[in-house]
Amino acid sequence: MDFLRPASWEEALAAKAEHPAAVPIAGGTDVMVEINFDHRRPEYLMDLGRIGDLEEWEVGEESVRLGASVPYSKIMEHLRAELPGLALASHTVASPQIRNRGGVGGNLGTASPAGDAHPALLAAGAEVEAESVRGTRRIPIDAFYTGVKRNALEPDELIRAVHIKKADGPQQFSKVGTRNAMVIAVCAFGIALHPRTRTVRTGIGSAAPTPVRAQAAEEFLNAALEEGGFWDNGKIITPSVAKRFADLCAGACNPIDDVRGTASYRRHAVGVMARRTLTWTWESYRGARRTTQGAA
């Protein structure tokens, strides 16, 4: 095993081009587990910890450019307003110690269906900034996850940042684990209301081979909200709409039975989380609307 310590992003790209099998390590919270447990012996380990700008973020007009290694604890602390869904998801990641090291780049690189960031990214809308010596490209999050622990990166590419749409409405994230802290998702659900486009987006974690959106559920809900004039009248979403949405979210799952939970439970739980988080976000939207109208 060789340990590569690129001092700059350019050096890292060059090293990755030269050694496409090199495993990048930032927070180490996935890679080191595999090394400690003898599950992985990469020829090259490439430390990204010396590249300072990977731990920085910029808040733009439309989106936040989040460096790949910004630790979850920083997202919780500093980006709660801009990225509420991701901040909530960050808070459910493992333990405080892990949240101090791990970042979204690692979650994307590992592309485990159980990664906590994925549902929030899918719901918010995001693009992954991937770069190699050949150039930079932005991969839409919907096209990023290609299989169990597989993603759309080319062998010579590294994740530099994620561009996440700034919240224009309430977002929520909910995750089921069999412990009240420090637990891997049995399944997870993210939702984001986008009042500007009058759409709702979702993300489901750990209930299919890859993180997925519940597209049929989104389409149903978008239509139902539009039809009932909900975005304008701010009425309570009818229980039948919420239930149908929840059922469609459950239906979007393609889970397995494993040691963490049954497929049947995962489907059920995603449905419950979908209904609850829809209620929370919608109540929040209604509350904000009332406040705005009251002020006006």
Under rule CB under 8 A, residue 203 binds other proteins? no
Using rule CB under 8 A, residue 170 touches other proteins: no
Please, how many CA atoms are within 13 Å of residue 86, restricted to the half-sphere of its CB?
32
Stretch of 87-95, 134-142, 210-218, 237-245 contacting other proteins, by CB under 8 A: 87-95
Q: Does 36 bind other proteins (CB under 8 A)?
A: yes
Measure CA of the first residue to CA of the last residue in the chain; give whole Å. Answer: 64
For tokens 């910890």, the residue is: 49
Min dist CB 202 to other proteins, Å, is 16
Q: d(Cα 40, Cα 37) in Å, to the nearest integer?
A: 8
Interacting span for other proteins (CB under 8 A) from 59-67, 139-147, 168-176, 224-232: 168-176
Structure tokens given for 177: 């684990």
52 in contact with other proteins (CB under 8 A):
no
* Spatial distance between the Cα atoms of 168 and 77, rounded to a whole number of angstroms: 19
Residue 296 found at the interface with other proteins (CB under 8 A): no
118 binds other proteins (CB under 8 A): no
Under the binding rule (CB under 8 A), the answer on residue 265 touching other proteins is yes
Please state, in angstroms and rounded to a whole number, the distance separating the CA atoms of residues 123 and 287: 21
Residue range at the interface with other proteins (CB under 8 A); choices 44-52, 160-168, 217-225, 286-294:
44-52
Instruction: State the nearest-atom distance from the C-beta of 83 to other proteins, in Å.
Output: 15
Closest listed residue to residue 242, CA positions, set 209, 275, 205, 285: 275
Query: From the CB of 61, what's the least distance to other proteins, in Å?
Result: 29
Task: Tell me the C-alpha distance between 50 and 10, whole Å.
Answer: 12
The first and second tokens of residue 18, run together, are 């030269």
Give Cα separations from 153 to 132, 140, 156 (angstroms). Answer: 10, 12, 8
d(CA 24, CA 31): 8
Taking the complex as a whole, the smallest distance from the CB of residue 269 to other proteins amounts, in Å, to 6
* Contact status: 201 vs other proteins (CB under 8 A): no
Of the residues 183, 216, 256, 288, which one makes contact with other proteins according to CB under 8 A = 183
| Residue 9 in the binding site for other proteins (CB under 8 A) | no
Distance CA 132, CA 49 (A): 18
Q: Are 225 and 198 in contact (CB under 8 A)?
A: yes
Q: Per CB under 8 A, does 288 bind other proteins?
A: no
Chain residues that interact with other proteins, rule: CB under 8 A: 1-3, 5, 25, 27-29, 31-33, 35-38, 41, 45, 47, 49, 88, 91-92, 94-98, 100-101, 172-186, 259-262, 264-265, 267-269, 272-273, 276, 280
